[in-house]
A and B are shown apart, each in its own frame.
Chain A
């Protein structure tokens, strides 16, 4: 069974600092990996989707890397803003449709 772990569980940084969020998974035979953002009481918004053949994806201030062989992904958020405060979830698709999620990292950016 695929296990996804996100460390740290919570993170608080001052505005302007770069954020580094880590995700690890136990089964490297994945189809893709997605990073989601979840605001309190809301659904999930997809941030970045990395196919298994890719090493990274970028969107604006966000960059996600994927190292399949070591079972790791990292989400970088540059120059954090208070609006970046949310829970960030990592999910892997191990059998081509079923996502296995981590428990998330809750980020607080202090103004």
Chain B
């Protein structure tokens, strides 16, 4: 596609529920990133994929968060047993030149946990 696509754009769920957020990067981009942005803050790093493997998942806040990229393209961020503190905008980005290239961000998935 022309840009990074994220679905859903908005997700409202209840505390304790399971949520999946999808990211479709720019075609051919091997590097994919997930960031989380809370209101009034800059994005915080969650996880970085190079191809199919998670090269660095040190930003995932706890074991309720998990992300996959099975075929090296689309990625899914999975959140189990959601908590109110998980409410944020989850941003996905991709890059063609790997780590030091320009990042292209999607518009984000806004998650609200009631």
Contacts and interface: CB of A to CB of B under 8 A. Distances in A.
Interface of A: 4, 31-32, 34, 36, 41-46, 49, 51, 89, 91, 93, 96-104
Interface string B40-80: 11111100100000011001000000000000000000000
Contacts, number: 63
Q: Which 5 A-B pairs rank lowest in CB-CB distance, beginning with the nearest?
A: A101-B42, A97-B99, A43-B105, A43-B107, A44-B105
A100 B44 CA distance: 7
Contacts of A96: 99-100
B99 A99 contact: no
A97 B102 CA distance: 10
B25 interface: no
Contact of B42 (A93, A97, A98, A104): A104
Contacts of A34: 102-103
Interface of B: 4, 6, 31, 33, 35, 40-45, 48, 55-56, 59, 91, 93, 98-100, 102-108
A100 B59 CA distance: 11
Contact of A97 (B43, B48, B91, B104): B48
Nearest to A89: B42
Nearest to B43: A101
Contacts of A93: 99-100
